[in-house]
């Protein structure tokens, strides 16, 4: 599904006219590239778009929709997504110094890959599916999150995360947690099993060759 939607939007997007994103703007089938995003964006529709090589200025993005979106090689330092829908999104190669947050969002089939986030906090959000692949972070925290429509899933593969807060509440909230073998060892067998978590089947994890294929397809767009 991930590769399919990326191929679909890659073949249909075109460069966005202008170099700013306004409130209540629709950015469908657009490429937002090398753009500096201001401190506040409200009620924008970013769906079916590619956002790459952009810098967000500690932006508060609120009441906005991100469906079938690629965010690539961008600086999301200090960004907060508030009351947003993120569905079928690939966030790859991003960095976030100090902080990146999701607050009261719906998170449905979101993959965060090959990224470094100093502190990632997800608050009061409903999770259908989120996958972390090759993410490094000193701290990721889940606070008062629950499953979207009664059942949710998250997975961690090839990650280097020093501390993860709130995982122990995920099972009770209807969100299953799958981790790969190194993370299983790091967090401790007892801690995980006590909370009903299972080890991720390597065959089910997103592999580097698929991410390479997607990245190469996106590279071909660049002049």
* 87 vs 64: CA distance, rounded Å: 12
- Residue pair 124/103 in contact (Cβ under 8 Å)? The answer is yes
Domains of the chain: 2-219 (2.160.20.80)
Residue 14: Cβ-neighbour burial (10 angstroms; 0-12, 13-18, 19+):
exposed
- The residue-averaged pLDDT of 79-88 equals 97
Task: Give dist(CA 144, CA 157) in Å, integer.
Answer: 23
Q: What is the pLDDT of residue 176?
A: 95
Cβ pair 10, 218 in contact under 8 A: yes
Could you tell me where the beta strands, DSSP code E, fall in 43-148?
Answer: 49-52, 55-56, 60-62, 65-72, 79-82, 85-92, 95-96, 100-103, 106-113, 116-117, 119-123, 126-133, 136-143, 146-147
Cα–Cα distance, 32 to 51 (Å, whole number): 5
Q: Using an 8 Å Cβ cutoff, are 200 and 180 in contact? A: yes
Run of H or E including 182: helix 181-187
Rounded to the nearest angstrom, the gap between the alpha carbon of residue 219 and the centroid of all alpha carbons in its chain is 20
The pLDDT tens digits of the residues spanning 117-174 come to 999 999 999 999 999 999 999 999 999 999 998 899 999 999 999 888 898 889 889 9
Pairing between strand 126-133 and 146-147?
parallel
Q: What is the pTM of this model?
A: 0.84
Confidence grade of residue 7 (pLDDT, cut at 50, 70, 90)? confident
Residue range 194-220: mean pLDDT, rounded: 75
Please, are residues 18 and 36 in contact by the beta-carbon 8 Å criterion? no
Digit-coded pLDDT (tens) for 58-69: 999 999 999 999
pLDDT in tens, 14-51: 776 655 565 555 676 778 888 888 888 898 888 899 99
């Amino acid at each position: 599904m991930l590769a399919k939607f990326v191929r679909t939007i890659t073949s249909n997007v075109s460069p966005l006219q202008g170099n700013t994103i306004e409130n209540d703007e629709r950015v469908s089938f657009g490429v937002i590239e090398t753009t500096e995003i201001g401190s506040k964006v409200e009620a924008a529709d970013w769906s079916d778009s590619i956002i790459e090589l952009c810098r967000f200025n500690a932006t508060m993005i609120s009441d906005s929709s991100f469906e079938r979106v690629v965010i690539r090689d961008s600086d999301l330092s200090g960004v907060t997504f508030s009351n947003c829908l993120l569905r079928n999104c690939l966030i790859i190669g991003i960095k976030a110094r100090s902080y990146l947050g999701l607050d009261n969002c719906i998170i449905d089939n979101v993959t965060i890959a090959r990224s470094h986030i100093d502190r990632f906090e997800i608050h009061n959000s409903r999770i259908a599916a989120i996958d972390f692949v090759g993410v490094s972070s000193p701290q990721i925290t889940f606070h008062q999150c629950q499953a979207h429509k009664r059942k949710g899933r998250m997975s961690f593969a090839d990650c280097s995360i020093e501390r993860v807060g709130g995982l122990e509440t995920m099972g009770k909230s209807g969100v299953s947690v799958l981790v790969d073998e190194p993370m299983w060892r790091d967090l401790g067998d007892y801690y995980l099993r006590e909370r009903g978590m299972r080890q991720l089947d390597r065959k089910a994890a997103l592999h580097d060759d698929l991410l390479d294929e997607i990245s190469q397809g996106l590279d071909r767009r660049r002049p």
